[in-house]
Amino acid sequence: MSEPTLVEPRAARGADRPVEAPPPLSPSLALEPTACCICGHRDAVPLAVGEDFEYHVSADQYLAVRCRECGVVYLRLRPALSELGRVYPPTYHAFDFSSEKFGLAHRVRRWLEARRLLPWCRELPSGGRILDVGCGDGFHLGLLQEYGARDWELEGVDASEWAVQAGRARGLRIHLGTAQDADLPAETYDLALLIATIEHVDDPMNVLRAVHRLLKPGGRALIVTDNTDTLSFRLFQTRHWGGYHFPRHWNLFDQQNLRLLASRAGFTVDHMDTIVSPVNWTYSIHNFLVDRHAPDWLVRRFTLASPGSLGVFTIVDRIFQLMGRGGLVRAVIRKPLQASAPGGANG
Ligand SMILES: [Zn+2]
C-alpha cells in the first residue's frame, strides 16, 4: 500500500515566518486525518488536489483519495469539526437559497424538486412524520409544506445556527444539532430526507445508524448525493470537479458503495438510480476558470445563479442519465420491519 502524500496547510509550511510579518489573508483551517467511512481502511489512491474555489474561506489545498476497497472518495485531511463555523460562512447557498438571490434558477429548482420529492411521500400514512436531516434553511420542508398533505408533521435538524435561524424565521420546526445528538424521539418518523447531506457529514455510517434509530420499523430514508460514476467526474477528477466542493464534501459515493453503506447501517435498499443535475458540470467549469484567473463576468456565468449554464448542462446531463449515469445518486432505503441491529463498528 502506498500512503498518499498528505498536503500540509500553507501556514504550516510557512511556520518560520518572522513574527512581524502580516498574517496571511485567509489563515489555514485546523485539519484532521481520516479513513474510509465504510471500511475504516486508510489504503487509498490519491485522486485530486484542490482548494475552495467557491467561498475561498482559506488558501489550503486539499487531497481527495479513493478507497481501494470500496471506492468511496474522501478528503484525506479535512477541516476539524471546530472549524465548521468558518467552513460554512453565513453566505453559504444552502442557508440562503432565496428567489431574491437566485432568481429564475430558484423558481425552476423549486418546481423540479417538488416534482421529484412528492412521489416518495405517497406511501405516508395520514399524520405522517417527516424529518429532514441536514435541512439547511428548510428549502425542502417548505416545498412539503406548500405541496404536501396538510396533516404531515414536518421537522428538520441542522448543525448550523445560521441555517436553523433562517428556517425558524420561515415558521418551520427545526432542531439545532445532528441526527446523532439532537434530542429526537426514537422510532418516530415515517420518512427521513438526506438530500445533499451525506457528503457533508464526518461519519455517514453514524448518521445512517442514527436515522435508523429515529425511523419507525418499515420507515424509509431518501438519500440524494453527488455521483462519482459520471463523465464530469472522470473529466475533472484531478482538481476541478464541482462535486468535491472543497473543503465541504467529505465523502462521495456511487450507487455501489452507497448501497454498501446503507446495508451496513442496517437498511434494505428499496430503490437506487441516478437523477439529472447540472450542478457539478457547471461548477467544474467554474472551478477551472477560477484557477485560470478568468475575468469575474465569465466566472459568474457558471454558478447556481446562472440559468444559462444550468440549462445547457441539464440537457448534457440528461444524455448521461439515459445511460444510468446522471449527476446525482438517489437511494430509497428502508428500516426492516423486523429490525436487526445495525452491524458493529464499520460493519
Ligand atoms: Zn472503503
Residues with CB under 5 A from ligand 1 (ion): 36, 38-39, 67, 69-70, 72
Distance 260 CA to ligand 1 centre (A): 10
Q: What is the CATH number of the domain that holds 287?
A: 3.40.50.150
pLDDT for 14 equals: 37
Distance 65 CA to ligand 1 centre (A): 11
> pLDDT tens digit string along 119-130?
999 889 999 999
Distance 288 CA to ligand 1 centre (A): 29
Distance 303 CA to ligand 1 centre (A): 32
Distance 41 CA to ligand 1 centre (A): 6
Distance 257 CA to ligand 1 centre (A): 8
Query: Does residue 61 form part of some domain?
Result: no
Query: Does residue 76 form part of some domain?
Result: no
Q: Residue 203 and residue 206: Cα distance in Å, rounded?
A: 5
Query: Does residue 340 form part of some domain?
Result: no
Q: State how many domains the chain has.
A: 1
Distance 261 CA to ligand 1 centre (A): 9
Query: Does residue 294 form part of some domain?
Result: yes
> pLDDT tens digit string along 140-157?
999 999 999 999 999 999
Return per-residue pLDDT of the chain as tens, 347 residues. 344 334 433 333 333 444 444 444 567 999 999 999 999 999 999 999 999 999 999 989 999 999 999 999 999 999 999 998 899 887 787 655 666 666 777 787 888 899 999 999 988 999 999 999 999 999 999 999 999 999 999 999 999 888 899 999 999 999 999 999 999 999 999 999 999 999 999 999 999 999 999 999 999 999 999 999 999 999 999 999 999 999 999 999 999 999 999 999 999 999 999 999 999 999 999 999 999 999 999 999 999 888 899 999 999 999 999 999 999 999 999 999 975 555 544 43
Distance 242 CA to ligand 1 centre (A): 22
Query: Does residue 212 form part of some domain?
Result: yes
Query: Does residue 14 form part of some domain?
Result: no
Distance 76 CA to ligand 1 centre (A): 13
Query: Does residue 266 form part of some domain?
Result: yes
- Does the pTM surpass 0.85? The reply is yes
Distance 344 CA to ligand 1 centre (A): 15
Q: DSSP of 245-301, one letter per residue?
A: TTTT--EEB-HHHHHHHHHHTT-EEEEEEEE--SHHHHHHHHHHHHHTT--HHHHTT
Distance 66 CA to ligand 1 centre (A): 8
Distance 37 CA to ligand 1 centre (A): 6
Query: Does residue 82 form part of some domain?
Result: no
Grid cell locating 77: 485531511
The per-residue pLDDT of the chain, averaged, comes to 89
> Where in the sequence is the domain holding 299, given as residue range(s)?
99-334
Distance 44 CA to ligand 1 centre (A): 8
Q: How big is the chain by its Cα radius of gyration, in Å? A: 20
268 class by beta-carbon count within 10 Å (0-12 exposed, 13-18 middle, 19+ buried): exposed
